[in-house]
Amino acid sequence: MTPRFQLFSERSGRRKWLVIGSLALHASVLLSHAAVVESKAPSLAITSARGFPDQDTELSVIVSRLTNAVAAQFDLSFNATRALGSFPQLSERFSGHVMRSYELAPGRWRTVVYSSTNAAFGTNGFLARLPFHTPATERVGSGPITPSGVIMARSDATAIQPLTMRSGRIFVSQVAPPDDEGVASVFYPITDQGDYVLFASADLVQWTAIATNTALADFVDFIDRDAGVHSHRFYLLSALGARLPSSVYPPIGLVDGRVVVPVASEANRTYILETSVDLKKWTPWLTNTAAGRSLEFSLPKPSGETARFFRVTQAE
């Protein structure tokens, strides 16, 4: 059977180096291809994170369920036109290890981590940082950042097998957090070129037009110079001159001591009213089926709360 990788050994005194490509792993004997049967396979994973055009984002290389691994080699592949990366940076917790990387081709790196004292990585944890920069023109994401060709070795140079791998990626967010000057950047995908207005709100009730821009491509960009003075901020895009739909800020009110939430709807569609007090955790509250183009939800007035938010989703 043809091996999946080739190893060449060079002897220097009492030590032997295992040369993989142009990088080296130190070990005492030649690396074996024998599989090690484990109930839960060790893994090397790339984390995912949110990013924004023309900003830096850091991912991580995470190892899990390792047993006595002292050296590793792995390749990373990604689309170099959608993510501009720097070589992995070893975690400070591995001060006794050395990390070496080089570029095999644009968007493909090879990295080796080893210890001259055969120090173990540990069972689980953060192995390395992966610095990336999202190009200013990228509005979707990096695509998969994929590890491959992973080799893990114990101090006796036996291979840890089998191994699993998991890709990560950068998801480009439409809203960048305010910078040091309190300015936030916002973009929206659009289908029709023309003039657009960005509205902002701090309470989802009062909306203020804060910027106007012309869309000449598939996206339109805005700057919110007042974002830094708000603890949170919501945005809405509208074509210039268009009336904001009533479903954006429905006249939620009290009727006979109950909260009434009107929404636009389609006949015979089922809708779910969800509630939240922090805009993070949402709880389904009521389900209703629309008879026409409008629908109302009615629920008891919440007590003992400074704020409560509502949203409506369509049932599948």
HEC readout, 119-173? CCCCCCEEEEEEEEECCCCCCCECCCEEEEEEEEEECCCEECCCCEEECECEEEC
Helix, strand, coil distribution of the chain in percent, nearest 5 = 0, 50, 45
28 DSSP assignment: S
Residue 245 has pLDDT above 70, yes or no: no
Each residue of 247-264: pLDDT tens digit? 444 556 667 778 888 776
Question: Residue 253: its pLDDT value, please?
Answer: 65
CATH T-level topology, domain 8-172: Immunoglobulin-like (2.60.40)
Query: Which comes out higher in pLDDT, residue 87 or 291?
Result: 87
**Long-range contacts of 281-286, Cβ-Cβ distance < 8 Å, separation of 24 or more:** 282/311
Position 252 scores a pLDDT of 63
Q: In terms of Cα–Cα distance, which of 60, 61, 59, 65 is closest to 43? A: 65
In Å, what is the CA distance from 237 to each residue of 12, 141, 246? Answer: 67, 21, 14
C-alpha dist (Å) from residue 117 to 70, 95, 114, 154, 252: 9, 12, 9, 12, 68
Give the confidence band of 92 by pLDDT, cuts at 50, 70, 90: confident
For residues 74-92, average pLDDT: 94
User: Among 142, 117, 121, 124, which residue's Cα sits nearest to residue 132?
Assistant: 142
pLDDT of residue 134 exceeding 90: yes
| Mean pLDDT score across all residues of the chain | 79
Number of neighbours of residue 247 by Cβ within 10 angstroms: 12
Distance from C-alpha of 25 to C-alpha of 73, rounded to nearest angstrom? 8
Residue 131 or 36, more confident? 131
pLDDT tens string 170-213: 999 888 888 899 999 998 888 888 899 988 888 777 788 899 99
Q: What is the mean pLDDT of residues 75-104?
A: 92
CA atoms within 13 A of residue 143's CA, in its CB half-sphere: 12
**Residue 96 confidence class, pLDDT cut points 50, 70, 90:** confident
On the question of pLDDT at 43 being above 80, the answer is yes
Report field, pTM of the whole predicted structure over 0.75: no
Say what percent of the chain tops pLDDT 90. 32
Query: At residue 36, does pLDDT exceed 80?
Result: no
Is residue 115 predicted with pLDDT exceeding 60?
yes
Quick one: pLDDT at residue 232?
A: 83
In sequence order, the 6+-apart residues with CB closer than 8 A to the CB of 183 are: 223, 224, 225, 227, 228
Residue 89 has pLDDT above 90, yes or no: yes
